[in-house]
Structure formats: C-alpha cells, structure tokens
Amino acid sequence: MKRFLSAAGMILLSVILIGCGHDTREGLIQDTIGMMNSASTQVKNITDRVKEATDRFAADSKKGLDLSDAVKAADELKKTGKKAQEIKGAIDVYRTKITPEDQRVNAEKQKQSGELSGAFKKLVDRKNDLREALAVAEKMEGGKEKAKVDALREKIVEAEGPYESLTR
C-alpha cells in the first residue's frame, strides 16, 4: 500500500517537474491525472466488489466469501499500472529538457489548479476505503475467511507491482 502511494506521489512530483508551455508536456500532465483518476476508480471497483461479497456472505454464510469479482477488478488495476509506466517513461524523456524556471512556473500552475493534487487525494482516500473493506471482510465469521482475503491482498499487491517499479 505504501509503495503504491509513494509511486503515485513520485508521478505527481514528476509531473510538477515537467514544466509547461509545450503541448506534449501538458498532455503528459493530463495523461497522469487521467491515469490517477482511472486507478482510483479501479480501486473503488475493488472496494465495491469486496463490500458486495461481504454483504452476500452476511446474508448467506453457507456459500462462503466469494471475492472472485474483486480479483477480476484487481486485474484492471494492473493494466492501468502498465499505462503509468508508459507515462513515466515519457516524463523521463522531457525531464532533462526542463529549465528550473519552467519547473517553478508549472509547479505554481498545478498548485493553483489543484487538479493533480485532487486526483492524488482521491486515490489515497479510495485506497483507505479499500483497506477498511478488506479489514471487515477479514473478520467475517471470526476470521474463517481470512485466507480468501489474503489471496485477494496478494492479487492487489501484484496489481500494484507496475506502480512500485516507478519508484525505482
């Protein structure tokens, strides 16, 4: 979880360092914001699938906790992570061409718009919601369903792998 958030923070910092004035740079900023919004939507989808599974389990515990829909949603998060790696590669190309003045101007512009920081905050909030939903699912039936939740956690860690590599 912390690696995922630090990777997203690193992308946020990278975008601020990009500068401004060139359509491609602005495009990269918008791509990053779009990717962060997509990732937060996918994290919300995972959370929703976990909550649906716990509700079904609470209504009828004989069937067991079925987190297969949440696992499928985690696969989508992994696809977005690969897109994040592509964006990071493009950012790295432009980073060497940016003057300190461009960096300062762009950082101020991004701070005023709040769009990038808003996308980051939404992602952090949704990760926290997911953490809470997993904690609830883990405690179902006195912890008897913990193994299924642990398997989902492993799948989420795998889905966050592409984001982790961004911090290296």
Comparing 22-26, 94-98, 102-106, 157-161, which segment has the lowest mean pLDDT?
Answer: 22-26
> Is 23 exposed, middle or buried (CB count within 10 Å of its CB: 0-12, 13-18, 19+)?
exposed
User: Which long-range contacts (C-beta less than 8 Å, at least 24 apart) are formed by 42-46?
Assistant: 42/73, 42/76, 42/77, 42/80, 43/77, 43/123, 43/126, 43/127, 43/129, 43/130, 44/126, 44/129, 45/73, 45/76, 46/70, 46/73, 46/74, 46/77, 46/130, 46/156
- Given a cut of 70, whether residue 15 has pLDDT beyond it is no
Q: What pLDDT, in 10s, does the model give residues 28-61?
A: 888 888 988 999 999 999 999 999 999 999 888 7
Task: Compute the average pLDDT of residues 85-113.
Answer: 82
This prediction has a pTM of 0.79
> Given this model, what pLDDT does residue 37 score?
92
Residue 151 confidence (pLDDT) above 90: yes
- What are 63-81's pLDDT values in tens digits? 888 999 999 999 989 888 8
Ordered by start, the domain boundaries in the chain are 2-167
